Every structure is written in C-alpha cells, then in structure tokens.
C-alpha cells in the first residue's frame, strides 16, 4: 500500500493543497499543534505560499491528493541558523499505518543534512506513537515543557527532542 504514495518537497505552487491539509490537521488534532484552526483559517493563501517558499516542507501524495506533511523552519538569526525546528507533522487517517511518517521525515532529514547541524521538535506527552517514531529516527529527549499548550481550558505538556546531524 505504501508504494501507492509518493513523497516530495512542496513548492509555493502547492499552497492551496498545503493550506487544505494543514487546516484539516489543526481541526482534527488540535492538541498536537501550537497554532489553532481559527488562527490559520483566517490567513490568506499567500501566508501558506510564503511558508512553502521559506521553510522545508515535504508532502506525502496519493495521486493528486496531498495526504501528509512534515515541515522544518531554519533559525533566522546568525546565532541560531545551525538549528532547524520541525513542525506541523500530520498524516490523514487514510495514510496512517503505512510507514509514511517515517519516510517523509527521513526525506526531510536527508534534505536538510549539511544545512543545519541540529533538528529540534516538540511532541505532546499524549502522543506516544509520535514519540516512538522520533526516538527511532535518533531524536533524544532533552526536556519537558509543562503546560506547553492550553486548549479549551486544559493544559498539555510537551517533550522537547533534538537530533544532531553533524
């Protein structure tokens, strides 16, 4: 089944489908993302196009349908350009269970190797499957942020994880 999917880096021309799956992710799994659906739904298409132009975003495709995303933003300041922050990892329910998150993240890691020395990410303490995946890919926990997100009056903790690429 996984061979029916392709993985490639997104470009600004992919902004409409990127926006659609990103909003799907924020609506279906709000406790796994820092942005809210309402915040990003209010953004114009140019916001998503700019992200694709300035961030590294890989997508999992099933034909013409974008079914998953994984993104990385590089540090903007001279003293933080050696770090990349992975954000926005999501697979639509029909794309889960095929090893696609691992393949997508591996493609992203291989793409940025040599341009960043460290990758960072956060993962909800309520998402053990994602934590295992990141650990299997070499990410190591370096901390825990209590009350990292507040959603509907409830607080959610996150693990802080890093992968050294150098």
What is the SS3 assignment for 64? Answer: coil
Give the DSSP H/E element, type plus range, for residue 21: helix 15-28
Any idea what DSSP says for residue 135? H
Check residue 32 and give its pLDDT: 86
How many CA atoms does the CB half-sphere of 148 hold within 13 Å? 20
pLDDT, tens only, 57-110: 999 999 999 999 999 999 899 999 999 999 989 999 999 999 999 999 999 999
pLDDT tens string 37-62: 999 999 999 999 999 999 999 999 99
Task: Give the pLDDT confidence of 127-164 residue by residue, as tens digits.
Answer: 999 999 999 999 999 999 999 999 889 999 999 999 99
Round to whole Å and give the CA distance between 109 and 82: 14
The per-residue pLDDT for range 118-134, each reduced to its tens digit, is: 999 999 999 999 999 99
CA distances from 9 to 6, 12, 54, 75, 124 (A): 10, 10, 12, 19, 25
Is the pLDDT at 21 greater than 90, yes or no?
Answer: yes
Name the CATH superfamily, with its identifier, for domain 2-164.
Gcn5-related N-acetyltransferase (GNAT) (3.40.630.30)
Give the pLDDT of residue 30.
Answer: 87
pTM of the model: 0.92
* Gap between the Cα atoms of 120 and 54, Å rounded: 17
Q: Work out whether strand 83-91 and strand 118-124 pair parallel, antiparallel, or are unpaired.
A: parallel
Q: Regarding beta strands 65-74 and 83-91, do their DSSP bridges make them parallel or antiparallel, or are they unpaired?
A: antiparallel
Assigned token pair, 141: 């926990």
């Amino acid at each position: 089944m996984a061979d029916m999917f392709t993985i490639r880096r997104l470009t600004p021309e992919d902004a409409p489908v990127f926006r659609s799956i990103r909003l799907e992710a924020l609506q279906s799994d709000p406790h796994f993302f820092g942005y809210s659906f309402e915040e990003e739904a209010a953004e114009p298409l140019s916001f998503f196009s700019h992200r694709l132009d300035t961030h590294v975003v890989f997508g999992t495709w099933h034909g013409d349908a974008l079914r998953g995303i994984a993104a990385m933003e590089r540090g903007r300041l001279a003293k933080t350009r050696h770090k990349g922050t992975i954000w926005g990892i999501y697979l639509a329910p029909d794309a889960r269970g095929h090893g696609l998150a691992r393949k997508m993240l591996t493609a992203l890691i291989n793409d940025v190797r040599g341009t960043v020395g460290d990758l960072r990410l956060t993962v909800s303490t309520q998402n053990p499957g994602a934590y295992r995946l990141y650990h299997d890919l070499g990410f190591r926990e370096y901390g825990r942020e209590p009350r990292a997100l507040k959603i509907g009056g409830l607080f959610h903790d996150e693990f802080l994880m890093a992968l050294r690429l150098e």
